[in-house]
Amino acid sequence: MTCRVCGGPVEPVAWALNLKIVSRSATEFFCLQCLAEHFKTTVASLEEAAARYRAAGCVLFPPT
């Protein structure tokens, strides 16, 4: 799977974040970096959000 913006690889955690905060029915995905830019945030805060979702038991997020 490649990023719709930069064509780079979409990591599993980025994929899960796309489904969670972009759309459950997303067919195009952003990599972590482009997701951060799209939402005017930082990769670090996206990773924090992912950690929160994972801790909450969200099945989209693979265990570390």
> Residues in contact with Zn ion, total (CB under 5 A)?
6
- Cβ atoms of 29 and 10 within 8 Å: the answer is yes
- Cβ atoms of 63 and 54 within 8 Å: the answer is yes
CB-wise, 8 or 60, nearer to Zn ion?
A: 8
- Cβ atoms of 30 and 46 within 8 Å: the answer is no
Site for Zn ion in 21-60 (CB under 5 A): 31, 34
CB-wise, 37 or 55, nearer to Zn ion?
A: 37
If binding is defined by CB under 5 A, does position 10 make contact with Zn ion? no
Q: What minimum distance in Å lies between the beta carbon of 56 and Zn ion?
A: 26
d(CA 49, CA 58): 11
